[in-house]
Structure 1
Amino acid sequence: MPRVSAVERRQDFVNAAMEVIASRGIDGATTRRIAEQAQAPLATLHYCYNSKEDLFADVYEFVGSRFQAVLDGSDPHSGLAETARQLLRGVLSCYFESHTFAAATLELFSWAQRQSENRGLGVYERAFETMRGILRKAAPGDQLSSEAIEDIVNVITSLADGFALNWLTRGDDSLADDKINLVTAVLDSWLADRIAQEATAR
């Protein structure tokens, strides 16, 4: 049997942690359960990670990298409205492609907010900064103020997180596409009004 590298094994534990967190919550995500989910000895988990906190740091990094990859795939040359739409659909796709990812991510953010070191905030801030940069490139000239860009970022993330919670609660995958279209239409309508406000203010 080929030897599994430490990097591969750590990814196995991150994937397993996401599964356990999604099904049992943070409090139920013991190292023993995570090792069992990864089909690995508990001693191997402790060899790879000094503590559960170190493992969770990699879990947050994994969540952040998934969002980052989607955001980096947006095309700022397609115009402001279409770029904002791409960003929203990209974040939604992270949630929609996996119940496990959606449930674990929302659980992680909720739990982190209650801790002294809010790693979830770090994930949010990196995503926010990426979106700000993409929207600045998409807005021609001085079309948008920094306040407007911040508003767009906040609306995109609020719509995406609200969708994810609604989707998980109701559990109807067949309606997901309709909901995505509805959420995108809400963004389109709000964005048109926000851009009009900017034009009036100039």
Structure 2
Amino acid sequence: MARITEEQRRLDLINAAIEVIAEKGVAGATTRRIAERANSPLTMIHYCFGTKEDLFYAIFEHMAVKHFGERIHVRPAVGLGRAAATVVRQIGKWASEVGPLAQTEVELMSWMVRQDTEKARMIYNMTLEVFAAKLRVGLRPDDDKHLVDVIARIIASYGDGSVLQNLTYADKASYELCLDSMAEALERLADAHRIVPAAAIL
């Protein structure tokens, strides 16, 4: 029987925690339930993460790196507006498809703010930076670079809201209409702030 690597064990525990939190909430996500779902010895949670709380924080890191960092793709120099529309569409698609992970995100974010506001801010900033990095890929010379962080925050806010909307209503047509409208609005916002060369003004 092949030995399970520590990296694979961590991933198994993260995925198990996502499922258990989605089903039972944070309060019901005991280490025993998580370990059983992962088919893992209980001691592995402490070996891989230290504490259950650190496992919960690792879920957000997993989302930022794996679900956002590796799955969002923007074409270079496509323009900030088009990049913003691309990112928000991909986030919207993610929010409508991930199932338990979306439920867990809502549960965990509320828990995290209550537990440690500073750490919650740090985790949220990590996600914002992933979005901002994707937007920077699409920048052209005439784009207003100061808008990158603003648009990243708008996308994060929309993503959080769309998760709740999708979980509550499950109305695909309305969801997609809102997503298309947000993508168009962000593209127009960025395009409206393009930098006009001084020579063109004269």
Per the normalisation by structure 1, the TM-score is: 0.81
- Residue in structure 2 matched with residue 184 of structure 1 by the alignment: 180
- Residue in structure 2 matched with residue 155 of structure 1 by the alignment: 154
AA matched with 1:34: I
Higher relative contact order (CA 8 A, sep 6+): 2
Q: Distance in 1 between matches of 2:102 and 2:178?
A: 19
Please report how far the alpha carbon of residue 158 of structure 1 lies from its aligned counterpart in structure 2 after TM superposition. Answer: 1.9
Cα pair 1:6 1:48 within 8 Å, conserved:
yes
Number of aligned pairs?
A: 196
- Residue in structure 1 matched with residue 15 of structure 2 by the alignment: 15
Please report how far the alpha carbon of residue 190 of structure 1 lies from its aligned counterpart in structure 2 after TM superposition. Answer: 5.0
What is the CA RMSD across the aligned residues, in angstroms? 2.7
List alignment gaps of at least 5 residues for structure 2.
none
Write out aligned runs for 1:66-105 (5 A): 66-71=67-72, 73-105=73-105
Please report how far the alpha carbon of residue 100 of structure 1 lies from its aligned counterpart in structure 2 after TM superposition. Answer: 0.7
Write out aligned runs for 1:38-187 (5 A): 38-65=38-65, 66-71=67-72, 73-116=73-116, 118-144=118-144, 146=146, 148-172=147-171, 175=172, 179-187=175-183
Cα 1:190–1:44, aligned 2, differ >3 Å: closer, same or farther? closer
AA matched with 1:68: G
Q: Distance in 1 between matches of 2:143 and 2:168?
A: 39
List alignment gaps of at least 5 residues for structure 1.
none
Q: Distance in 2 between matches of 1:184 and 1:120?
A: 30
Cα pair 2:6 2:48 within 8 Å, conserved:
yes
Cα 1:35–1:75, aligned 2, differ >3 Å: closer, same or farther? same
Q: Find the residue that maps to 1:77 and give its secondary structure.
A: coil
Q: Distance in 2 between matches of 1:149 and 1:83?
A: 10
| 1:4-47 CA-partner distances (Å, limit 9, x unpaired) | 22322221111100001111111111101111211233244344
Moved more, 42-51 or 102-111: 42-51
Per the normalisation by structure 2, the TM-score is: 0.81
| 1:105-160 CA-partner distances (Å, limit 9, x unpaired) | 121112111122544433321232233344345343243151x3333222222222
Q: Distance in 1 between matches of 2:177 and 2:155?
A: 14
Cα pair 2:95 2:166 within 8 Å, conserved:
no
Task: Determine what percentage of the aligned residue pairs are the same residue.
Answer: 33
Cα 1:12–1:132, aligned 2, differ >3 Å: closer, same or farther? closer
Cα pair 1:19 1:100 within 8 Å, conserved:
yes
Q: Distance in 2 between matches of 1:133 and 1:16?
A: 29
